[in-house]
Structure formats: C-alpha cells, structure tokens
C-alpha cells in the first residue's frame, strides 16, 4: 500500500499536536491550576493519530480515563478540553468532568469514562444505533490492556459479535495497569488479540513502533469494518512514557524493568515518522518545524486564554441533574 | 350485551399494553432483556411483541446485565430510547457500574448535552421461597443516586400510565414491579388515561383524618387492605400511594401529616437506611410542630430473607401487622377478627398460585 505524503503529513500533524498538548499539560501541571487527575498519552500518540485518520466525523467514539489523545484525534475542540482540565465553565463538560470526562458531540466524541471498562458497552450501544439506522457509521471504543480484564469487556465483545454491531474495539496495550505489569494479570501465553479472535472478532495486532505501517494497517482494517459493517478488534503494541496518572517520569519507582523505558524512547514512533518523512517522502525539516511551530502557537493561545475564563458558579454546577 | 365497564384487566396485561403502545408510537424505541422473546415473555408482559415489532427492536440479550445496561445507555444517547427488563431485581445488581457511573451521571457530567432516556423494569420476587437473592427490595439504594428516577406502581389501573410516563421521561427511570402486583386486577374503565397524572405525583388513595399511611408498590396493596379493614370499623386513616419514590411528592405527604398529626410509613425494604426512614426524616424536619406522636415505620427486618415457608409468614409483615400498628398509633380500641386479614396465603399472590417462579 502506498500512502501519500499529504496523508502522512496530516498523520504527523495529528500525532505531534497530541504530543505538544500533553507535554504542555505536563510542563504546567505543577503550577496547581489543573487540579484534577491527568492521564497523559506521551509515547502512545501515533495510535490515536492513526485511528483519527481512519475515522469519519460522523463516526462515534468513546474512551477511557486516558482520553486526551483520542479526543484530539477525533478533532475534539482543544480549547474546550483544556478549559475543562482547568475547571472552567467554558470546558466541554462545564467543569463537571475534568480530564477524564471529555465530550465533543460536534465530532461524535460521546464521552470518556474514569471507570476502567465502563465506556466499552456504551460504545457498543452507539454502534447498535448505527446498525439500526443503517447509517454506515462506525462506533469506536478505546481502552487499555487493563480493561480487557473487566467483565464489561467480555460482555460487550460477545454482544457485538452475536448482534454484528459495527464497532471498532481499540486496545492500547501499554503493558501496565497503573504500576502493575501483565505478569500477575494475564497469562503470558495468551495474547489479547488472539483472545478477541477466539471470541469471534476479526482481530489484528498492530505495532505502533513502525508508525507508517501502523497507519496503513489501521486504515485498511477500519475500511474493511466500515464496508462490511462488522465489529473488529485492534490491539496496539505501545508504551506510556510518563507515570500512570500525572505529569512526571516515574522510572525511579522501579516497577518497570531497568532500561525498558529507555529502549521504548529510543524507538519513539513520532520521531521515526518525522525522520521517515524527511528521508523517504521529500519533506523538509523546515516544513515539519513550521507544523510544530503552528501547533505550539495554537496551544500557547489556548493556555493563555483559558486562564481568563470564569469558573462555573455553584448555582451552575447544581443544574442538569435531570434532562 | 357486553358491559364494557365491567371488563377486567390485570397489572401484567397493562404493562404489556403499555409496551405495545410505546413501541407502536416511537419507531426508534428498543425493548431488550433476557427473556423478552421467550415463551413465557417476562410473566406475559412482552408476549406477542417480538412478532409484532421484530426481533431487532424487541431484542433477546445475552446474560450480561452490566454491558446490556451500558449498551442501553449508548443506544439512548444516540437517539434510541430503550426499555430494559430483568426478571429479578437481584440480577441487575451486576449492572451497578453502568447504572450509577454511566446512566445516572451522563446528562449532568457531560455538561447537560445528552440525556439518557432509558427505562429499566426490575421485577421484585416475593413469596414462594424466593429467598435471600430473589426477593430483595432495594428501591432505597436507587433513590440515593442523583440523576435517577424511581417509580414503584402498586395497582393495575395505574401500571400502564406510570410505565408510559417513565418511557416518555428523558432520564433514566427504574420501574420497580413487585411480582405480586402483576396479579392485581382492575376494571378497564378505571385504567388511568394518558396525560391525567405525572411522575412525582402521589395519590391520596383513601382519605382520612386520624393518621397518614404512606406506602408504595406491594406495600401499598397491603396497606390498602389494612386501611379498608379499619375504615369499616370506624378508624379513618389516610392512605397515600406514592407511585414515584424519586422525585418524591413531599407536598402531598406534608399536607396530609399537617391534617392528621401522625405518620406511618410502610416499606417492603429492610429497615436500616430504608426509604421509610427517608420519609420520616423529611416529615420530622418539615412538619415537626404538626406531629402529635412519633413517626413510625414498618419495614422488613435487617436480615436477609429466609427461604423456608415455615418461617416466612412470621418474617414478612402483612396487612394485619399494618392494621395493628395503626390501632396502636391512633390509640384505638377495637376488637377485630384478624383472620379476615389473614385469609390469603402468606407466600403466594393468590390461592391458586403454585410457583415455581
């Protein structure tokens, strides 16, 4: 499969936007203005970007606690996300949800949930609507390796297979549930994507360390699911660079094997994508720098402006318990 | 000539008619649950509906209470109102994450942009040895969660309209059906017509002046027997049938207590942190000066319900217990033949019932 330079530049822009936003959150977190838990996707950006490239605006998506990247890849509004993390009334949830609860209905991003596995069935329900409406849309549901240990995951996969729901299950396997590696959680001989296949899903494993293959495979599999209106499962081999929750490097806690983080960082898929664009696609470094710089300018403006936005009043926060 | 006014119906039939009407009027409405297409059709309440509306809209589900609830939320926020049903409330306990973390909070948490119009029918087991995990009355739990509505019909004439109102409501509604309410009968001419009541509106079922009895669901059925029995013997107590636990019609309760000065709340749930306790709390805080005696409750004991029919008669309260409590509270002095109130089987909804479920 050949991928055009334009497509790769869009992909790069999306992944780089996620990284720059996440790095900015990490850099400013210690100022104490973002007073809610944040789960950053630094190291995992190309997964979301690849999925974002495969999504139509009319598709729906739900996600987990680590949702910034998924929201941005679905073209969720950056300003309203940052305002939400800052607890401002201009946030996407009016300051009621924080980082773990993101929504942008204008692009079909229905919501993200702080409870592991919680949004998986909701995504299947959205996919059920697409099936009933015969609309050709797909529902995307993002989760991590930990969520595949939840009952909701098995129940949802089973339902989707039995009822042939057009849903894309996206498992970002970053090897850790908080500080716990896979060893005490899942048998070493059992691969998540193989288990999904055994449950009746068309299932693939995608290695995010080769960013261009990651994009190509994602596009191909999602296209196949779209054309056939069936559920599929994509497991991404990926890695989180920072702590589970928060802005810091936590390698000092020594729950990761010595050298593991360093090895993954050396294979940074975003840098690999950048280098490949220059080496193989005739893109100049200055073109890429210009993309980075435009993103940084946008992010600067957002971070500057949200700070001037008001907090919700208590009265505002007492509304909307019922529709 | 057939006298239309004397034609009878029952609660279960009214539920089925309500579902039929709702499915007919809203082509996007989905009805799903384990058993909705099976030969028994959820105690008859879904019979005929799969054939009429198709097995995509009347959907048999896997035994996956939690995911199915979340799938209902996903359907609802994307435009398909959903009715779900569980043949025993106890199984629905597997779905607490989706109920509490998704359904109840979705509208509020995401800034009031998406409502969750789902109705969850939960059938409560009673009698015939349903025991510790098939007969729990947990309505009080559900009222504790902001964002949920809780409806608890008692009688055949109100069942359909309360269900229709629950389905019409844009919020998640728990619709609690005591198994024994299913056999309650009504004359067709007494069935509540569309638009004449609202959720959150209690009914003064029996007017009276010496004490206020508040109840919902099957507790209201038993309270009605007790109150009617006493009325025939000159004791005039007021009976309020709540119909909706949340939102609670405190105005009707308070105004009754201000008239009678006494309140007894009858509740099928266990007594600690019961819904009865909540009603007593609200009355005590808002009508303290009107009270002439301490508020009282009748609840299930703080013990899991045993199965043996050798002990369940004593374990469960019945109409006679309610009547005796009213006599005690009103300091009445009557001699009654309690066998009249005890003339129904304690562990079956009627004398012909032979189980098994």
Structure tokens, A51: 């999925």
Query: Of the candidates B138, B169, B190, which is a domain's last residue?
Result: B190
Query: Of the candidates B190, B223, B254, which is a domain's last residue?
Result: B190
CATH number at residue B87: 3.40.50.970
Q: Is residue B67 part of a domain?
A: yes
Is the CB of residue A48 less than 8 Å from the CB of residue A73? yes
Could you identify the residue written with the tokens 């058993």? B35
> Can you give the residue range of the structural domain that contains B15?
9-190
> Which residues of chain A does B62 touch, with a Cβ-Cβ cutoff of 8 Å?
155, 158-159, 162
d(CA B137, CA B181): 14
Is the CB of residue B240 less than 8 Å from the CB of residue B263? no
> Which residues of chain B does A115 touch, with a Cβ-Cβ cutoff of 8 Å?
97, 101
Relative to beta strand B173-178, strand A180-181 is unpaired
> Which residues of chain A does B95 touch, with a Cβ-Cβ cutoff of 8 Å?
none
Q: How many helices (H) and strands (E) does chain A have?
A: 12, 8
Q: Is residue B303 part of a domain?
A: yes
pLDDT at site B1: 44
pTM of the model: 0.96
Same domain, B41 and B92: yes
Structure tokens, B104: 């109840």
Provide the CATH topology of domain A5-75+102-306: Rossmann fold (3.40.50)
- B86 to chain A nearest CA, in Å? 16
Same domain, B334 and B211: yes
* Residue among B68, B86, B95 at smallest CA distance from B124: B86
Q: Is residue B1 part of a domain?
A: no
**Other beta carbons less than 10 A from residue B104's beta carbon:** 23
Nearest CA in chain B to A89: B111
Written as tens digits, the pLDDT of chain B (357 aa) is 445 557 999 999 999 999 999 999 999 999 999 999 999 999 999 999 999 999 999 999 999 999 999 999 999 999 999 999 999 999 999 999 999 999 999 999 999 999 999 999 999 998 999 999 999 999 999 999 999 999 999 999 999 999 999 999 999 999 999 999 999 999 999 999 999 999 999 999 999 999 999 999 999 999 999 999 999 999 999 999 999 999 999 999 999 999 999 999 999 999 999 999 999 999 999 999 999 999 999 999 999 999 999 999 899 999 999 999 999 999 998 888 888 888 888 899 888 888 887
Q: Is residue B244 part of a domain?
A: yes
d(CA B9, CA B11): 7
pLDDT at site B91: 97
Q: Do B66 and A92 touch (CB under 8 A)?
A: no
- A195 to chain B nearest CA, in Å? 19
* Residue among A9, A8, A39 at smallest CA distance from A101: A39
Mutate to test the interface with B, among A36, A112, A121, A147 (most CBs of B within 10 A): A121
> Which residues of chain B does A118 touch, with a Cβ-Cβ cutoff of 8 Å?
70, 97-98, 101-102
CA A216 and chain centroid, separation = 17
Could you identify the residue written with the tokens 């360390």? A209
pLDDT at site A292: 98
Same domain, B262 and B300: yes
Nearest CA in chain A to B247: A322
Any idea which residues of B carry the catalytic annotation? 65, 134
Tell me if residue B160 falls in helix, strand or coil. Answer: helix
CA A233 and chain centroid, separation = 15
Could you give the number of structural domains in chain B? 2
Same domain, B155 and B270: no
- What average pLDDT does the structure give for chain A? 97
Same domain, B310 and B281: yes
Task: List chain A residues with pLDDT less than 50.
Answer: none
Same domain, B47 and B107: yes
Same domain, B330 and B215: yes
**Angstrom distances, CA of residue B309 to CA of B127, B242, B315, B351:** 8, 30, 10, 15
- B117 to chain A nearest CA, in Å? 9
Nearest CA in chain A to B145: A321
Ramachandran area for residue B41 (φ above 0: left; ψ -120 to 50: alpha; else beta) = left
Q: Do B71 and A124 touch (CB under 8 A)?
A: yes
Q: Do B64 and A139 touch (CB under 8 A)?
A: no
CB-based contacts of A20, cutoff 8 Å, min separation 6: A292, A295, A296, A299
Same domain, B172 and B104: yes
* Residue among A75, A71, A5 at smallest CA distance from A38: A71
Same domain, B145 and B213: no
Q: Is residue B356 part of a domain?
A: no
Q: Is residue B354 part of a domain?
A: no
Same domain, B32 and B163: yes
For A8-157, where are the E strands, in sequence order? Answer: 60-63, 109-112, 139-144
Q: Is residue B349 part of a domain?
A: no
Q: List residues of B whose CB lies inside 8 A of any A CB.
A: 28, 30, 56, 59, 61-62, 64, 66-80, 94, 97-98, 101-102, 106-117, 146-147, 149, 170-171
Q: Do B74 and A133 touch (CB under 8 A)?
A: no
Is the CB of residue B227 less than 8 Å from the CB of residue B240? no
pLDDT at site A123: 98
CATH number at residue B303: 3.40.50.920
Tell me if residue B267 falls in helix, strand or coil. Answer: strand
Query: Of the candidates B190, B212, B243, which is a domain's last residue?
Result: B190
Q: Which of B98, B109, B147 sits opposite A101 (nearest CB)?
A: B109
């Amino acid at each position: 499969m050949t991928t055009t330079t334009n497509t790769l530049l869009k992909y790069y822009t999306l992944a780089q936007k996620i990284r720059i936003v996440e790095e900015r959150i990490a850099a400013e977190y210690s100022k104490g203005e973002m007073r809610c838990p944040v789960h950053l996707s630094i190291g995992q950006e190309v997964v979301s970007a690849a999925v974002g490239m495969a999504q139509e605006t009319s598709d729906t998506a739900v996600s987990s606690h680590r949702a910034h990247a998924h929201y941005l890849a679905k073209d969720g509004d950056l300003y309203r996300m940052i305002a939400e993390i800052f607890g401002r009334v201009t946030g996407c949830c009016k300051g009621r949800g924080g980082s773990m609860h993101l929504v942008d209905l204008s692009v079909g991003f229905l919501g993200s949930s702080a409870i592991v596995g919680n949004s998986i069935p909701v995504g299947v329900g959205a996919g059920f609507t697409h099936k009933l409406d015969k609309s050709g849309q797909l529902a995307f549901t993002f989760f991590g390796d930990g969520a595949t240990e939840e009952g909701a995951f098995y129940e949802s996969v089973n339902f989707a297979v039995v009822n042939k729901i057009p849903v894309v299950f996206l498992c970002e396997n970053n090897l850790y549930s908080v500080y716990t590696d896979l060893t005490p959680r899942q048998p070493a001989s059992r691969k998540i994507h193989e288990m999904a296949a055994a449950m009746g899903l068309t299932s693939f494993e995608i290695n995010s360390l080769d960013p261009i293959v990651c994009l190509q495979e994602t596009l191909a599999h999602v296209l196949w699911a779209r054309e056939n209106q069936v559920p599929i499962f994509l497991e991404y081999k990926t890695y989180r660079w920072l702590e589970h929750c928060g802005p810091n490097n936590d390698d000092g806690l020594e729950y990761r094997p010595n050298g593991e983080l360093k090895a993954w960082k050396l294979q940074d898929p975003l840098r690999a994508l950048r280098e490949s664009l220059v080496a193989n696609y005739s893109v100049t470094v200055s073109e890429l720098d210009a993309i980075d710089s435009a993103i940084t300018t946008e992010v600067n403006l957002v971070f500057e402006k949200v700070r001037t936005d008001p907090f919700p009043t208590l009265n505002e926060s007492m509304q909307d318990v019922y529709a | 000539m057939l006298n239309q006014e004397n034609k009878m119906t029952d609660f279960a039939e009214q539920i089925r008619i309500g579902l039929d009407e709702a499915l007919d009027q809203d082509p996007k409405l989905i009805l799903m649950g384990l058993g909705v297409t099976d030969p028994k059709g959820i105690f008859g309440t879904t019979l005929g509906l799969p054939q009429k509306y198709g097995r995509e809209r009347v959907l048999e589900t896997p035994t996956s209470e939690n995911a199915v609830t979340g799938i209902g939320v996903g359907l609802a926020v994307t435009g398909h109102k959903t009715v779900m049903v569980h043949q025993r409330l106890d199984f629905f306990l597997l779905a607490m994450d989706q109920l509490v973390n998704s359904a109840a909070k979705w509208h509020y948490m995401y800034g009031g942009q998406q409502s969750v119009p789902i109705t969850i029918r939960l059938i409560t087991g009673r009698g015939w040895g349903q025991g510790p995990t098939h007969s729990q009355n947990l309505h009080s739990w559900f009222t504790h969660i902001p964002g949920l509505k809780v409806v608890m019909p008692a009688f055949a004439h109100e069942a359909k309209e309360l269900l229709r109102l629950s389905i019409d409501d844009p919020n998640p509604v728990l619709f609690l059906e005591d198994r024994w309410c299913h056999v309650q009968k009504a004359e067709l001419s007494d069935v509540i017509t569309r638009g004449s009541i609202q959720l959150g509106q209690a009914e003064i079922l029996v007017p009276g002046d010496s004490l206020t009895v508040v109840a919902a669901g099957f507790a209201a059925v038993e309270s009605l027997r007790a109150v009617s029995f006493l009325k025939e013997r000159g004791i005039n107590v007021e009976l309020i049938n709540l119909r909706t636990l949340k939102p609670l019609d405190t105005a009707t309760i308070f105004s009754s207590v201000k008239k009678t000065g006494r309140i007894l709340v009858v509740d099928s749930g266990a007594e600690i942190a019961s819904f009865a306790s909540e009603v007593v709390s609200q009355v005590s805080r808002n009508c303290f000066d009107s009270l002439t005696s301490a508020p009282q409750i009748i609840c299930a004991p703080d013990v899991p319900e045993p199965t043996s029919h050798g002990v369940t008669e004593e374990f469960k309260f019945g109409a006679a217990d309610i009547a005796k409590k009213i006599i005690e509270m009103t300091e009445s002095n009557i001699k009654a033949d309690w066998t009249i109130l005890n003339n129904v089987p304690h562990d079956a909804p009627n004398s012909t019932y032979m189980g098994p479920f």
